[in-house]
Structure 1
Amino acid sequence: MPVTDTAADALTRQDPEIAGIILAETRRQSAGLQLIAAENFASPAVLEALGSPLVNKYAEGYPGARHHGGCEVVDMAERVAVERARALFGAEHANVQPHSGSAAVLAAYAALLAPGDRVLAMGLREGGHLTHGSPANFSGRWFEFTGYGVRADTGLIDYDRVRELALDRRPRAIVCGSIAYPRHPDYARFREIADEVDALLIVDAAHPIGLVAGGAAPSPVPYADVVCATTHKVLRGPRGGMLLCGGRLGDRVDRAVFPFTQGGAQMHTVAAKAVAFGEAATPAFAAYVRQVVANARALAAGLAEQGLAVATGGTDTHLVVVDVTGLGLDGVRARGRLAAAGIVLDVCGLGHGASRGLRLGTAAVTTQGMREPEMARVAALTGAALRGDGDVARLREAVAELALAFPPYPALA
């Protein structure tokens, strides 16, 4: 292969089938509205680190204590990632090796709990994650979970009920975190409840951690024993996880990641995490997350004008949750109608026996450069697709026109 070849050129010649699939996915991402709350567009610098020769290096263990030779250089990358994470979030200890958010939660449980321990977490129907006690997941098989929920009248966490359940169940740990809660949790209140029953507090901040990094959301770090997070979503880094904790738990957390739950670290991903942490420490990123929240609020208002019931009456975050039953739809049918129009989002639980609703996120479209006027247009297009107004092909063209005006990767447009 000539040294002047780009990676894309080499892939196109070597494996045109996979090169074509990558091109098709790039076009799909560019020509539709990407409103999945867990997704974002990683920066070109993050993508460059992910595709670097660091992918070749096996590096079981931690910097200065690897089980393989030749780790002197990749050790530097991990040290940079750890120090940047600690500085960004004000944490005494950080572990940047988890391969995913779920892997980070598994390691947190392994560090703090024993099989059979009682755990209190948000119920799955109210917005809890699979790792918060699903019987199909390791968490539900290994630990005894009790779910707390939200108030029927407001959709907000019922902290009095959380306390009642904690006093009754006496859990070893309380998990604070959700995949579909659009408001800031009261971390201080969770800490009070945990202390009252002598429980550990684990915060699953997979969704809000990017907002925390940019100063647009309160930090769980001063209150939690361990914070689990992802490095993609609003944080806009590579797909992966991380753990933050106090220094006294650092060794336990590290051992829970390696060797207990994972083998070798993915050093190209660790380096990409370092790039993302560096980007998140800039004023530009702080402005970005403020716009993410402003866009979410504008989108929520626009969807309400379209006749959709917005959970909790709005949002503090990048998340908007809506009930579509007023349009005679359930979440799955609604998602299908929107997908046909090129609007991609998720279904989520609404709690209290209600059918599933829709979960929208503004992180990706904000990365593209969209602002409040575009959110009004997104809401109008969403309403039209849900109501079945007009020809679907014409609606999809309107969606593509809006999306293509804000290419996520202009060099590839």
Structure 2
Amino acid sequence: MSADSPHTATSTTSPGAEYADTASAAYRAALQVVESVEPRIAAATRKELADQRASLKLIASENYASPAVLLTMGTWLSDKYAEGTIGHRFYAGCQNVDTVESIAAEHARELFGSPHAYVQPHSGIDANLVAYWAILATRVEAPGLADAGAKHVNDLSEADWEKLRNKLGNQRLLGMSLDAGGHLTHGFRPNISGKMFHQRSYGTDPDTGFIDYGAVAAAAREFKPLVIVAGYSAYPRRVNFATMREIADEVGATLMVDMAHFAGLVAGKVFTGDEDPVPHAHVTTTTTHKSLRGPRGGLILCQPEYADAVDKGCPMVLGGPLSHVMAAKAVALAEARQPAFQAYAQRVADNAQALADGFLKRDAQLVTGGTDNHIVLLDVTSFGLTGRQAESALLDAGVVTNRNAIPADPNGAWYTSGIRLGSPALTTRGFGPDEFDRVAELMIDVLTNTAPEGSSKAKYSLADGTAERVNAAAAELLAANPLYPGLEL
């Protein structure tokens, strides 16, 4: 068991049995209050903890926040409206929210070495949406106003405003393709980003699965985008952000990096130099959960020239800030600034490597042939399965994953041909390389004993005894690495 996870009995941030007893008392009291109003919600909450304790959670976008982070969200800070930003609110009585937001932003700046941080976004999608509009406001709207001799859009004539509106809605964005590991918010039609921009995608080398920076540069020269988006949701390798910045500079584009998945590896100094996006990107967005291990929410880091526009996220895009979540972000970011978090981040990377090695030595197929971040992308076509069939069979055996497209996926984005796996959550529980190797073995057991039914891409059959065997083996691993040990409800 890891000695510096915030969820073990020897946590450095909240040490010992006394901490577990205090947290237990707090949660018991809170659930009793909930139960007095709606007992079904209290029951579902208790059941969720039991389910998470009893499953091997390998979803790359999930983790376990510390009790301190979770408890911070359940306060009366939720009751305050605070549109605007620090010192410039549209509501009176926001002095305590100013304090909370200031502390969260301070931790974010110091943790990531960024000149500016905006901690209001409610999610990663919100953070990306604010970032896009901040780039448009800085690169298109501000020059458009100046050209028209105006300081504000309200000062524009109808004709000038129509011209500016057409410019704002007719810019180009170059982002990573979905099947190569990009995200819906990187310009795809079902998402608002795909409706805001004229979008084009860059993929990966068809032979290696790695980003081909020469091909990205060629696409940028031909397409001439206003924005280049780097970062990923399901790419199991590191990115050279210095090279991406060079490409952006050559074509006059703003480089935006979405580090929602790997922010914890940046915060933990696993990714440094050219692999740290913050010094190279004009704007960097992230979630605060996933590998960062905080509350569900978003965060934007940016260079000074984008700060004013980013800070207008509310009311430009966002509604009222979630002050209780900003407080929880501050607590999580404070945890991430401790030396223990750097050790945790390194174990996340080491454990992902152990998981990948466990698959490879058992002849499984991995996209790019391995990993050097926290993601392992398993190609399940060699088992004769779709991603949906594999995901469902694994869930029957107590292994929680999510299906994911692979490059040039023949089954599309719904059924898929891949399973995306991540090491952050089980690393938080204290799993090490030996346990991750065992997880790979158990998953192979499930997949080799699963068969598709007929021509269906969803239906499957699992050989008798497989689910029981794997669940029992998983239970042994989980018992040795308890989640929130000592926390009793």
Q: TM-score range, shorter-chain basis? A: over 0.9
- CA separation in 2, counterparts of 1:391 and 1:369? 26
Q: Which amino acid aligns with 1:183?
A: R
Instruction: Give the counterpart letter for 2:82 in structure 1.
Output: A
Greater displacement, 167-176 / 381-390? 381-390
**Equivalents in 1 of 2:402, 2:238: separation in Å?**
20
Q: How does 1:5-16 map to 2 (within 5 A)?
A: 6-16=29-39
Aligned position for 2:470: 395
Q: Which runs of 4+ in 1 moved over 6 A?
A: none
Secondary structure of 1:13's counterpart equals: helix
Q: 1:358 aligns with which of 419, 424, 442?
A: 419
Q: What secondary structure is seen at the aligned counterpart in 1 of 2:378?
A: strand
Q: How does 1:91-240 map to 2 (within 5 A)?
A: 91-113=114-136, 114-217=168-271, 218-240=275-297
SS of the residue aligned with 1:121? strand
**How far does the alpha carbon of each residue in 1:119-140 deviate from its partner, in whole angstroms, 9 at most, with x for none?**
1000112111111122111011
1:292 to 348, 351, 359: 348
The Cα offsets for residues 356-402 of structure 1, whole Å up to 9 and x where unpaired, read as 21110010000001101111111111111111164322322322332
**In 2, distance between residues paired with 1:207 and 1:395?**
28
CA drift at 1:5 = 8.1
Once residues 305 and 33 of structure 1 are traced to their aligned partners in structure 2, the CA distance between those partners, rounded to angstroms, is 21
Number of the residue aligned with 1:377: 438
Work out whether 1:281 is the aligned partner of 2:281: no
Structure 1, unaligned stretches of length 5 or more? none
Alignment-derived partner of residue 41 in structure 1 = 64
Name the structure 2 match of 1:269.
325
Instruction: Please tell me whether the aligned partners of residues 127 and 298 of structure 2 are also in contact (alpha carbons under 8 angstroms).
Output: yes
1:343 aligned partner: 399
Give the match's secondary structure for 1:124.
coil
Q: Which region of structure 1 is more displaced relative to structure 2, 375-384 or 11-20?
A: 11-20
SS in structure 1 at match of 2:133: helix
1:142 CA drift (Å): 1.6
Q: For the residues of structure 2 that align with 1:227 and 1:212, how far apart are their CA atoms?
A: 12
**Cα distance change of structure 1 residues 387 and 289 upon mapping to structure 2, 3 Å threshold:** same
Q: What are the residue-to-residue correspondences of 1:251-330 with 2, within 5 Å? A: 251-255=308-312, 257-330=313-386
Deviates more, 1:325-334 or 1:99-108: 325-334
Kindly indicate whether the alpha-carbon contact (under 8 Å) linking 2:445 and 2:466 is maintained by their aligned counterparts in 1.
Answer: no
d(CA) in 2 for partners of 1:380, 1:293 = 19
- Unaligned segments of structure 2, at least 5 residues: 1-25, 137-167, 412-416, 450-462
Q: TM-score, normalised by structure 1?
A: 0.96
Give CA-to-partner distance per residue, 1:270-329, whole Å, 9 cap, x none.
000001110001110000010011100000000112321112222111111111111111
Between the aligned partners of 1:28 and 1:137, the Cα distance in structure 2 is 32
Which residue among 68, 78, 84 is the counterpart of 1:61? 84
Matched, 1:28 2:51: yes
Q: C-alpha root-mean-square deviation of aligned residues, in Å?
A: 1.5
CA distance in 2, matches of 1:94, 1:27: 36
| 2:42 aligned counterpart, secondary structure | helix
Structure 1 vs Structure 2: percent identity of aligned residues? Answer: 47
Taking the aligned partners of 1:354 and 1:289, their CA distance within structure 2 comes to 34
* Equivalent position amino acid for 1:404 in 2: A
Say which SS state the counterpart of residue 274 (structure 1) adopts. Answer: helix
- Tell me how far apart the structure 2 counterparts of residues 142 and 214 of structure 1 sit (CA, whole Å): 34
What is the CA–CA distance in structure 2 between the aligned matches of 1:346 and 1:4, rounded to whole Å? 30
Could you say if the C-alpha distance between residues 339 and 190 of structure 1 is closer, same or farther in structure 2, counting changes exceeding 3 Å? same
| Per-residue Cα deviation, 1:210-243 (whole angstroms, up to 9, x for no partner) | 1100101131111111001010001000000000
Query: Which has the larger displacement, 4-13 or 206-215?
Result: 4-13
* Greater radius of gyration (CA): 2
Aligned partners of 1:14, 1:199: CA distance in 2, in Å? 53
Deviates more, 1:375-384 or 1:51-60: 51-60
- Alignment deviations for residues 5-49 of structure 1 (CA, whole Å, 9 cap, x no partner): 821221123221111111111111110001000000000110111
Q: What TM-score do you get using the length of structure 2 for normalisation?
A: 0.82
Report what 2:306 is aligned to: 249
Q: What code does the residue aligned with 1:176 have?
A: A
Q: Give, in whole Å, the separation in 1 of the partners of 2:379 and 2:174.
A: 26
For the structure 1 residues 394 and 353, does the alpha-carbon distance in structure 2 shift closer, same or farther, using more than 3 Å as the test?
A: closer
